[in-house]
Amino acid sequence: MHHRPALNLDFLSGGGEMGALMRAHDWTTSPLGQPEGWPQSLRTVVSLMLTSKFPMFVAWGPRLAFLYNDGYRPIFGAKHPHALGLPFREVWSEIWPDIEPLVTKALAGEATFHEDLHLVMERHGYPEDTWYTFSYSPVRDETGGIAGMFCACTETTGEVKLRAALRAEQDRLRELFQQAPGFMAMLSGRDHVFELANDAYLQLVGHRRDIIGKTVRDVLPEVAGQGFFELLDRVYTSGEPFVGRNLRVGLQRRPGSPVEDRFVDLVYQPVTDRDGKVTGIFAEGYDVTERVQAEESVRESEARFRNLADNAPVMVWVTEVDGTCSYLSRTWYEFTGQSPETGLGFGWLDAVHPDDRGWSGEMFRTANARQEPFRLEYRLRRADGTYRWAIDAAAPRIGEDGTFLGYVGSVLDITERKEIEERLRASVAEFQTVTNAAPALVWVGAEDGRILYMNERWHEFTGQTTEEALGYGWASTMHPEDVERVLPYWQRCRETGEIYEGEARYRGRDGEYRWHAFRAMPHIGPEGAIAKWFGVSVDIHERKEWEEHRELLINELNHRVKNTLAIVQSMAAQSLRQLSEESRPKLQAFEDRLFALARAHDVLTRENWEGAELREIIDEVVEPYLRQKTRHLDIEGPRLRLIPRTALAIAMAIHELATNAAKYGALSVPSGCVHITWAVEPGEVPRLVLQWRERDGPRVTAPTRRGFGTRLIERSLAQDIGGDVRLTYAPTGVVCVMNVPLTETGGTAEHHSAY
């Protein structure tokens, strides 16, 4: 039997668990080979490493086989023990890119030292942040060459994390100190030197940002004489803290600016050492300027409210959350004769009429429970014992956080209003009685055209109910042909404010339509705009039927007159047909006069022979002369309505003048023009002044004798209607001025507006 020779492994003895592990380890697969073959230099380093309690490792040989001691085992974690003897690169493959440059330096003979180096290791199967303080040193063999490297290390992960946490906590505290809503400052020594000051303190004192290391007296000279320096001295000397509220301090917050009053809540807390000796003062507090000013504003607002309420024409009151009255204005006490002792709480109800006290108090309590606005009308006892009607209205008081605080309300004497309402109700009843007694249809409309009221005659005639007629329902009874005409007109009247009048057909309850004349006047409200419309519609059906019959008769008469004129024309033509050619113009002139008379009759017929517009009469007479585009007439004058006799006389006069102008005057040449103008001269008897003026025609010479046309003009105007005629034959053109009285026998001036 062969026995394995005993190995000289004394250098591994005394090495603790790692020494025993190395002695028992199978080194056949290790780059180092068996321990008995290790060079003395390696044995020496390993012996030194195994006997040390400090974490160490040796990396030896070309492949840097890894050897470590018991102190290094916790660093290895789960890699122990299988990593023993393996190459350094394999053992710490995850951190090799970080440490390879350090290893290279050691193998090149350069020792390195690193403090708290951060490495991400996988010691337990997952990456973890670690920190180490270590040194890498070259190890030489017997030949003097560098055969490996030696490392003594300490894991400082706990210390690094603790320091980081401490710094974070300090940073957090420092951030809290800086961002604290209240101001803070640390003062040291008897002279109160600034060691720390947060942003709130710097904001309070204003522009002084470089205060650290300076005394409060140097930093805040304007505070001298305000008692704060003396307070600091007393706290430092006595060791007793100081607490103050709403302290006024004058600060110069900007260079060159005046001293500004601020208000602070302040604490001076003495800081002591271990022996209890005061070494400084910690100052903290809040800038409460806005709060103080707000409180002052509230006090001023309350004073203004009370002054306003006490002098208001209405009675003002305030309640709390439970409904009890906490304030009544002076006007309440003056009106009711109550005092604060009798009126506050729920005592105010004693001034309410006994018949109204129960239900009004219950409505108030219900509204208070629901926290909603309310409005009451009840009788309130005056100081003289009489009862007056009053309106009591209130709205909830809501705090900034939305909570219900009670009510603020007002009471107003409305006795006069009640009396007016009663008179108004009586007036409305009287109005309805009067309108219902009227034989006409009476209605009241709103400014937008909606009907608000129809009298009983409307419902009796149309058969509509009140609900059917009001609003725009009344329009359904109007004849469809009249709807298209009347409703746009009604819209225009509402917009312009002009009187709404006209005629329309309404359907009766029997289905038959009857003509009505309507007229409505706008009622202007206090603000100058239309408030309502008051209208009346009168049945004119019989009158319309008579007018239609009269129109039929007039048309028949006009037809017969025209036939008569035609017979006269025919008789004249037959009687004068034997005339010579030289006499033919006389026949033509006669026929033209008949045609002019017929045209005037046409205008009067269209107007039912009640009268005619002057402009329309002139247009009809001169129309034949305007068919030639070379002839020009300028006609201008105000609207003027003439009675039939005056209209016919002027029509014949204009015809004679136009005929003469067409033969001899301005209308005989292309360049000629005739101006026809008129005006009304006011007076006891208004007169129409109508002027015919020719220009740019042939030169005019006075005739040697007066013709028939001239005599016709003078006779028809003078004898028929009492007018005057002045006919002038100026060389530049004929001028004819007619002066006609506008009386019942000569004409009526109904309109003087521009045509």
Which pairing describes strands 260-272 and 278-287: parallel, antiparallel, or unpaired? antiparallel
Query: 579 or 302: which carries more pLDDT confidence?
Result: 302
Residue 745 is predicted with a pLDDT of 43
CA pair distance 473, 605, nearest whole angstrom: 39
Quick check: 671 pLDDT over 60?
Answer: yes
Residue 687: enclosing H or E segment and its boundaries?
A: strand 687-695
Characterise 30 by phi-psi region: left (phi > 0), alpha (psi -120 to 50), beta (else).
beta
Measure Cα distances from 336 to 350, 374, 411 in Å: 10, 22, 11
Domain with CATH 3.30.450.20 in the chain: 10-161, 180-287, 293-413, 436-535
Residue 527 is predicted with a pLDDT of 85
Q: What is the mean pLDDT of residues 123-148?
A: 92
Residue 430 is predicted with a pLDDT of 78
- Of 129, 161, 131, 148, the C-alpha closest to 68 is 148
CA pair distance 654, 213, nearest whole angstrom: 116
Backbone angles phi, psi at 516, to 5 degrees: -135, 140
CA pair distance 399, 407, nearest whole angstrom: 11
Instruction: Kindly state the greatest CA–CA separation across the chain.
Output: 189
Residue 178 is predicted with a pLDDT of 66
Q: What is the mean pLDDT of residues 519-537?
A: 87
Residue 2's pLDDT band, with cuts at 50, 70 and 90, is very low
Domain with CATH 3.30.565.10 in the chain: 548-741
3-state secondary structure 402-432: CCEEEEEEEEEECHHHHHHHHHHHHHHHHHH
Cα-Cα-Cα-Cα dihedral of 715, 721, 722, 728, to 10°?
-50
| Helix 644-663 × helix 614-622 angle, to 10° | 30
Q: What is the mean pLDDT of residues 269-289?
A: 90
Backbone angles phi, psi at 72, to 5 degrees: -85, -15
3-state helix, strand, coil in the chain (%, to 5): 45, 30, 30
Quick check: 38 pLDDT over 80?
Answer: yes
Percent of the chain past pLDDT 70, that is, above it, reads 83
- Each residue's pLDDT tens digit, 703-716: 766 655 676 676 76
Q: Using CA of residue 541, residue 546, residue 549, residue 551, what is the dihedral sign?
A: negative
Q: Which residues, 6 or more positions from 380, have their beta carbon under 8 angstroms from its beta carbon?
A: 335, 336, 351, 352, 353, 387, 388, 389, 390, 411, 413
| Residue 242 contacts residue 231 (beta carbons within 8 Å) | yes
Q: How many residues make up the chain in this entry? A: 755
Classified by CATH at the fold level, domain 293-413 comes out as: Beta-Lactamase (3.30.450)
Residue 577 is predicted with a pLDDT of 57
What the block records as the tokens of 345 is 């709480």
User: Which neighbouring-strand residues pair with 344?
Assistant: none
| Residue 394 contacts residue 380 (beta carbons within 8 Å) | no
Classified by CATH at the fold level, domain 548-741 comes out as: Heat Shock Protein 90 (3.30.565)
Which pairing describes strands 673-681 and 632-636: parallel, antiparallel, or unpaired? parallel
- Give the end-to-end CA distance of the chain in Å, rounded to a whole number: 155
CA pair distance 210, 255, nearest whole angstrom: 14
Q: What is the DSSP string of 473-542?
A: GGGGGB-HHHHHHHHHHHHHHHHH---EEEEEEEE-TTS-EEEEEEEEEEEE-TTSSEEEEEEEEEE-HH
Domain 180-287 in CATH 3.30.450.20: yes
Percent of the chain past pLDDT 90, that is, above it, reads 28
Residue 727 is predicted with a pLDDT of 85
| Residue 458 contacts residue 443 (beta carbons within 8 Å) | yes
Residue 145 is predicted with a pLDDT of 93
Residue 434's pLDDT band, with cuts at 50, 70 and 90, is confident
Q: What is the mean pLDDT of residues 126-153?
A: 93
- Each residue's pLDDT tens digit, 363-418: 989 999 999 998 999 999 999 999 999 998 988 998 888 899 889 888 998 888 88
What the block records as the tokens of 422 is 């009663």
Q: What is the mean pLDDT of residues 280-288?
A: 89
Which pairing describes strands 112-121 and 128-140: parallel, antiparallel, or unpaired? antiparallel
Residue 3 is predicted with a pLDDT of 40
Please tell me what DSSP assigns to residue 664.
T
What the block records as the tokens of 720 is 């028929």
Least confident residue range of 87-101, 583-597, 649-663: 583-597
Residue 565's pLDDT band, with cuts at 50, 70 and 90, is low
Classified by CATH at the fold level, domain 436-535 comes out as: Beta-Lactamase (3.30.450)
Q: What is the mean pLDDT of residues 135-141?
A: 94
Residue 561 is predicted with a pLDDT of 55
Residue 19's pLDDT band, with cuts at 50, 70 and 90, is confident
Q: What is the DSSP string of 139-201?
A: EE-TTSSEEEEEEEEEE-HHHHHHHHHHHHHHHHHHHHHHH-SSEEEEEETTTTEEEEE-HHH
Which pairing describes strands 530-539 and 513-524: parallel, antiparallel, or unpaired? antiparallel
| Residue 440 contacts residue 537 (beta carbons within 8 Å) | yes
Residue 549 is predicted with a pLDDT of 58
Per the prediction, the chain carries an average pLDDT of 82
- Each residue's pLDDT tens digit, 95-130: 999 999 999 999 999 999 999 999 999 988 899 999
Residue 755's pLDDT band, with cuts at 50, 70 and 90, is very low
Residue 702 is predicted with a pLDDT of 78
| Residue 379 contacts residue 389 (beta carbons within 8 Å) | yes
The sheet that has 315-319: what strands, in order across it? Answer: 325-328, 315-319, 404-413, 387-398, 374-381
Quick check: 555 pLDDT over 70?
Answer: no
Q: Which residues, 6 or more positions from 527, have their beta carbon under 8 angstroms from its beta carbon?
A: none
Residue 279 is predicted with a pLDDT of 92
CA pair distance 180, 344, nearest whole angstrom: 46
- Of 681, 683, 692, 687, the C-alpha closest to 747 is 687
HSE, side-chain direction, 13 A CA sphere, residue 455: 22
Quick check: 692 pLDDT over 70?
Answer: yes
- Each residue's pLDDT tens digit, 57-76: 999 999 999 999 999 999 98
Q: Using CA of residue 75, residue 79, residue 80, residue 83, what is the dihedral sign?
A: negative
CA pair distance 710, 248, nearest whole angstrom: 112
CATH of domain 10-161: 3.30.450.20
Measure Cα distances from 69 to 20, 44, 61, 113, 153 in Å: 11, 14, 18, 20, 11
Please tell me what DSSP assigns to residue 5.
P
Single-letter amino acid, residue 585: P
